[in-house]
Structure 1
Amino acid sequence: MPTEEPAELPEAESRETAAHTRSLVDKLWSYCDVLRDAGVPAIDYVEQLTYLLFLKMMDEQEKKLARRGKPNRVLPVGIDWDTLASKKGADLKGYYEHVLEDLGKRPGMFRLIFLGAQNKVQATGLLERLIKELIGKTQWSKEGVDVKGDAYEELLSRSASDVKSGAGQYFTPRPLIRAMVDCVQPTPEDTIVDPACGTGGFLLLANEYLRREYPMESLNPDLRNRVIHGHAFHGVELVRGTARLAAMNMLTHGVVPSENQEVIEVGDALLNEPKVRATLVLANPPFGQKSAITVLGEDGKVVKDEAVYTSRDFWVTTKNKQLNFVQHIAKLMKIDGRAAVVLPDNVLFEGGAGETIRRRLLKEYDVHTLLRLPTGIFYAGGVKANVLFFERKRPSDKPWTSKLWVYDFRAGESFTLKQRPLRREHLQDFVDCYLPGKPREERVGTERFKSFTYEELIARDKVNLDITWLKDDGAGDSVQHSPEEIARSIAADLKTALAQIEAIADALASRNQMENT
């Protein structure tokens, strides 16, 4: 059970730790502008730091074991930090590239971090400064998990704002994730899965919650190892470069995989059968209408595209990526498993396949809470999104959903990434209304929080869950939006309209097909 009061650092110590973290981040980030001028984007810079931090931390681990009289090789023979740091110019560049290639051929964590790794810092002088002055002068093993983990996470946050690299598409706002995690309350017994994990934010903050609410020293060895060695977490990421960032993010936050333990899996979650079944899914699947796959669902229809993907587990055939992720998440959950998933508006109202999926979810799962999100909180702009909370139940003749509670955090609210960024306290009223850990029968409606019965939901046209009742008085318009943010808002409206038009077109096509059959 969680402790009554989570252990916290004394205020002065907490401020000191935060200041130290900022100092470390500023030091690491100070090289970014220099490298950007040399043609290295921010996300590539963080990737290069990942390689070097991993090497330095593993080298320090070896030396720490040796000092304790327990010498043990962590890095392969012939690869060590001192050799790397002793070289100069072309010799340094050549040895560094040899290290990247060699480690990419090794199994386990080495393969995940280094497979396909490339040296993006071609200027030997810059590479030498990066190794010797930036990484080499810091004893990373002496930095607490909080410091080096928060520093790495902050680097990812800063790189997400680099629009040209597209890094923001892999970065879900951390205040939103924290609120979602606070609602679902992970436990050490949970198997927490993110099938589109990006840089690992959901797994990272679930880990943070577990370490705060369940101090590791209070757990029995099995549960402690589940958290520390990563057996409690599993992420899937399509892009290898992003997967390595997620793996390093978890490592710097104290999740050290045991041998052959795959915390982050590289692959297409929609293409492969899940390796792990979840008791808790936390996810923000990629936005975008279509996947380059061939889909075969229970309805027997085939939708062709570039690659081949067959899943007879899905309820319905569709090329809509978000709808396929909803079906995938629903299927990978264990009985009594729970999920909190970020979804764009079109998943709530789209007809055809969307309607079929919503009907199945409401009947076979307990779909109990929907959080309508405001605009301006995602780095990947142009999206109106929501968080859907639901639980998997055993087969039953009766619908499992009794009430869907909708919290409208969109009406009258507006955020920007710079002038008014989303903070965790902005979501506190929603978390209070959610009543984490308490029976949902105790929930009380408010102006923003309202319940709808299963019968009311099913009676809605196309089982449309895009429910509004508050008048948006434009209170959020007082926020000063940049031209870029205004353009993204317009794009969001256009995308929503396009999705509605496509849904109508699909419905008409299905009707014509039936009439001609």
Structure 2
Amino acid sequence: MTGSTESGSTQGVRAVALKKSDLYSSLWKSCDELRGGMDASQYKDYILTMLFVKYVSDKFKTDPDSLIVVPVGGSFDDMIAAKGDKEIGDRINKIIANLAEANSLQKVIDLADFNDEEKLGKGKEIQDRLSKLVTIFQDLDFRGSRAEGDDLLGDAYEYLMRHFATESGKSKGQFYTPAEVSRILAKLLGINAETQFSETAYDPTCGSGSLLLKVGDEAPNGLTLYGQEKDNATWALSKMNMILHGNEIADIRKGDTITSPQFTKRDQLEVFDFVVANPPFSVKSWSNGLENEFGRFEYGRPPEKNGDYAFLLHILKSMKSTGKAAVILPHGVLFRGNAEAAIRKRLLKQGFIKGIIGLPGNLFYGTGIPACIIVLDKENAAARTGVFMIDASKGFIKDGNKNRLRSQDLHKIVDVFTKQTELERYSRMVPLSEIADDKNDYNLNIPRYIDSSEPEDIQDLQAHIHGGIPERDVAALAGYWDAFPTFRSTLFQPNRPGYSDLAIDVADVQQTILDSMEFKQFAKEIGAEVDNWFGAHRARLEAITEDTKPNALIAELGEDLLARFRHTPLLDEYRVYEQLMSYWHDVMHDDVFLIMNDGWAGAATPRKTIDDKERKLAERPDLVIGSGRSAARYKMDLISPALVVARYFAAEQIKLDELAVAAEEASRSVEEYTEAHAVDEGLLADAMDDDKITKVLATARLRAARREATDPEEVKALEHLVGLYDSETATKKAVKEAQVDLDLAALKKYGDLEAEEIKQLVLDDKWRAAIGGRIAGEVDGLTLGLVARIQELGGRYAATTTDLDSMLSELEGRVSLHLAKMGIK
């Protein structure tokens, strides 16, 4: 929207709450300042260290109970004071060293050398680069970051880790487990509101700590976290990650888990309630330096050149007698022979393996091969009579050069596993007797037990010969006929026993379905259910305050939406759930965060756009009042101008649209008239210049033609054209003026909005309408599968062999006739 004059309203410049999307873009811009000669695995240390110092400095200012002490000479404010200094690199190193010493974090937060000329440049280059870096973080304010309920800082850390892992490539991306996979492992362990803080969770290959933290997130009362990491730099990342997530007391130790386990007591491994791990796949040197086995290999010794079972057996030994574990391993552990087959057989006989989940390929940063989750459970292991298997390999979305699990994929896996639900081609409880029989011999390869392939589409020879669509194919669409009882008789008619014909033209199938009363009623009922669902939570949404826990809020909304659509025919409840979750991640989360920080009125107040040339950050305005340098550019973060116009200025918008149509018509009239007459020998030929005829040219030629008075028809044509141009100018001016008036009215309305009006615009006009529209799209999408299948069947059997013979005979006749005309017998 654009306008021409400044509004008289009192719209000021409001401060920008730190939204997740803003934080992400700022952090990635900080990476741009360092990217160049450095690999992502190197510059991540600088970015994450800076993020850490900024966060703990902000938190120390407002939290008297902060476990991290920020000393004089060790804060981010000291870094700000160093901007522009020729010795900025050395000063930053000393600031970080002071902070590290005050909190016993030496060799944790001080690994990155900010005075490294080889990586950061020399002289003015390093001075400018680090000054810009400090400026970017200076603008971020973490004093309002709430570690409880919605961890914005933790999410930012996850965001950076994901990007660093992507850029680091296969060799250096193994420090991070994708957040979606981490959440699945955490939820499979059965941690809930009854889990006590005294209970323990352990990750023997914890990397940057993201997986372990996801386990902790599942326990509302907290959980005591333990981890071990081999790589020194990654161990430091994990220590920082724990602090950034408010888990300062997490016990993260350094060393090789197999050869030098750090959690031991009296020559025995310590045991834990919950264990999770994403160990490096198939390590060949796992036993190098191994001296004490700690009783880990009682069920067999893993092969010397493959460490997968070494980690699995370490995890098993680290579990309490009622302990639960979830570990990511390559599919090979399910079916490889020899020593691994012997171990697998003993573990199955002991009943330790509760479940196996096959994941899509290309999920992980260190490898593209598909992996699986093995769920171990010692509780009631002796009584276990089967292994619950899930083939989730087909549930994902492409995300750049990787695959990613969607919210719907994650939720379905956890639901099905937790409830032990058997779904065709997806999940089943496989009896141990079947796994142990002669055919399978303790092989756990998932395709042996679950056939996830689509059923073969069998061709019908009789239908090809005599026509008609086989009853078998029509009956396979029973879900549609059950949901819409009249559809079948509308779309099909009998041909002969066992076969039907299409009752309507194939091209009319989709519109016939959309126009049917049954489908309209179905869509109406779905819309009503969405209204009921939103209505049930409206009061909760209306009551969003600074104490709201966004994660708990969306979990409540999502679970209820799933439950309401669980038994709806045809509609996949997880696809409905995905529509809510994708909108949450794209839009609604930022909206909630704005309301939490600024309140409803503050979040709805327009603000002047940011145009920071130094940081190359320029926001696209939602509303422009005026023109040129004096124009006022506004950003509406919570309520777009379109929402305000739709509710309060619908009549004005209709008038504006009508004027716009008139302007288009006027322009089209000019174009059509010039095309008809601005040609060689045409009435407007003398007014043309390089095949163009503008208003200026037409007006000038009209004056000349009147003076010459030689061709009345030309004068008449020119007068008509100039009149068309005048009409075009007038209509365009009317559009512009109407747009200005509407923009000014809309901007003024923002200042007049009452609290209830703001909530109505956000809750009903924005959130409810958007989510409802997305779910309505799922309903409309139901027709696509049915239409495609009917069109496929209709086309497949449309021509019988008799028809084809007739066509062949006709074509042969034509060829013979052509040959005869050419004198060829």
- The answer, yes or no, to whether TM exceeds 0.5 is yes
Q: Which residue of structure 2 lines up, in the alignment, with residue 21 of structure 1?
A: 20
Q: Which residue of structure 2 lines up, in the alignment, with residue 143 of structure 1?
A: 145
The 2-side partners of 1:389 and 1:356 are apart by: 19
Which residue among 386, 391, 415 is the counterpart of 1:432? 415
Is 1:249 equivalent to 2:241 in the alignment?
yes
Decide whether aligned partners of structure 1 residues 73 and 267 sit closer, same or farther in structure 2, where only a CA change above 3 A counts.
closer
Q: Which residue of structure 1 lines up, in the alignment, with residue 322 of structure 2?
A: 336
Is 1:465 equivalent to 2:444 in the alignment?
yes
The 2-side partners of 1:373 and 1:29 are apart by: 30
| Alignment check: 8 A CA contact 2:326 2:376 kept | yes
Partner AA of 1:188 in structure 2: Q
Ranges in structure 2 where 5+ consecutive residues have no aligned partner = 1-15, 264-269, 457-825
Matches within 5 A, 1:23-102: 23-37=22-36, 39-64=37-62, 74-75=69-70, 78-87=73-82, 88-100=84-96
| Alignment check: 8 A CA contact 2:170 2:365 kept | no
Partner AA of 2:443 in structure 1: N
Decide whether aligned partners of structure 1 residues 198 and 474 sit closer, same or farther in structure 2, where only a CA change above 3 A counts.
farther
Decide whether aligned partners of structure 1 residues 124 and 353 sit closer, same or farther in structure 2, where only a CA change above 3 A counts.
farther
State the 1:279 CA deviation: 0.6
Q: Which residue of structure 2 lines up, in the alignment, with residue 478 of structure 1?
A: none
State the 1:178 CA deviation: 1.7
Decide whether aligned partners of structure 1 residues 140 and 409 sit closer, same or farther in structure 2, where only a CA change above 3 A counts.
same
SS of the residue corresponding to residue 205 of structure 2 reads coil
Q: Which residue of structure 1 lines up, in the alignment, with residue 338 of structure 2?
A: 352
Which residue among 273, 290, 302 is the counterpart of 2:261? 273
Ranges in structure 1 where 5+ consecutive residues have no aligned partner = 1-16, 215-223, 295-306, 476-517
**CA offsets 1:69-101 (integer angstroms, 9 cap, x no match):** x99991456534333332244422112233455
SS of the residue corresponding to residue 174 of structure 2 reads helix
Is 1:194 equivalent to 2:235 in the alignment?
no
Q: Which residue of structure 1 lines up, in the alignment, with residue 213 of structure 2?
A: 204
State the 1:19 CA deviation: 7.9
The 2-side partners of 1:431 and 1:374 are apart by: 15
**CA offsets 1:427-455 (integer angstroms, 9 cap, x no match):** 3333222135xxx5xx4453321222223
Is 1:450 equivalent to 2:428 in the alignment?
yes
Partner AA of 1:50 in structure 2: L
Decide whether aligned partners of structure 1 residues 54 and 312 sit closer, same or farther in structure 2, where only a CA change above 3 A counts.
closer
Q: Which residue of structure 2 lines up, in the alignment, with residue 479 of structure 1?
A: none
Matches within 5 A, 1:89-238: 89-100=85-96, 108=104, 110-111=105-106, 113-114=108-109, 116-119=111-114, 121-122=120-121, 123-131=126-134, 133-145=135-147, 146-164=151-169, 166-186=171-191, 187-189=195-197, 190-210=199-219, 214=220, 224=221, 227=222, 232-238=224-230
**CA offsets 1:466-515 (integer angstroms, 9 cap, x no match):** 1314153599xxxxxxxxxxxxxxxxxxxxxxxxxxxxxxxxxxxxxxxx
Percent identity between the aligned chains?
26
TM-score, normalised via structure 2 length: 0.46
The 1-side partners of 2:184 and 2:169 are apart by: 29
Is 1:288 equivalent to 2:282 in the alignment?
yes
TM-score, normalised via structure 1 length: 0.71
The 2-side partners of 1:449 and 1:179 are apart by: 16
Larger helix fraction of residues:
2
State the 1:286 CA deviation: 0.9
The 1-side partners of 2:68 and 2:95 are apart by: 16
| Alignment check: 8 A CA contact 2:203 2:276 kept | yes
Is 1:310 equivalent to 2:289 in the alignment?
no
Decide whether aligned partners of structure 1 residues 72 and 453 sit closer, same or farther in structure 2, where only a CA change above 3 A counts.
closer
Q: Which residue of structure 1 lines up, in the alignment, with residue 353 of structure 2?
A: 367
Partner AA of 1:333 in structure 2: M
| Alignment check: 8 A CA contact 1:284 1:343 kept | yes
Q: Which stretch of structure 1 is more off in the superposition, 264-273 or 115-124?
A: 115-124
| Alignment check: 8 A CA contact 1:188 1:232 kept | no
The 2-side partners of 1:414 and 1:167 are apart by: 24
Decide whether aligned partners of structure 1 residues 233 and 55 sit closer, same or farther in structure 2, where only a CA change above 3 A counts.
same
Larger Rg: 2
State the 1:144 CA deviation: 2.9
Is 1:324 equivalent to 2:307 in the alignment?
no
The 2-side partners of 1:370 and 1:427 are apart by: 15
| Alignment check: 8 A CA contact 2:207 2:235 kept | yes
The 2-side partners of 1:71 and 1:368 are apart by: 41
**Aligned residue pairs, count:** 411
State the 1:349 CA deviation: 1.3
Partner AA of 2:451 in structure 1: L
Q: Which residue of structure 2 lines up, in the alignment, with residue 390 of structure 1?
A: 376
The 2-side partners of 1:47 and 1:402 are apart by: 48
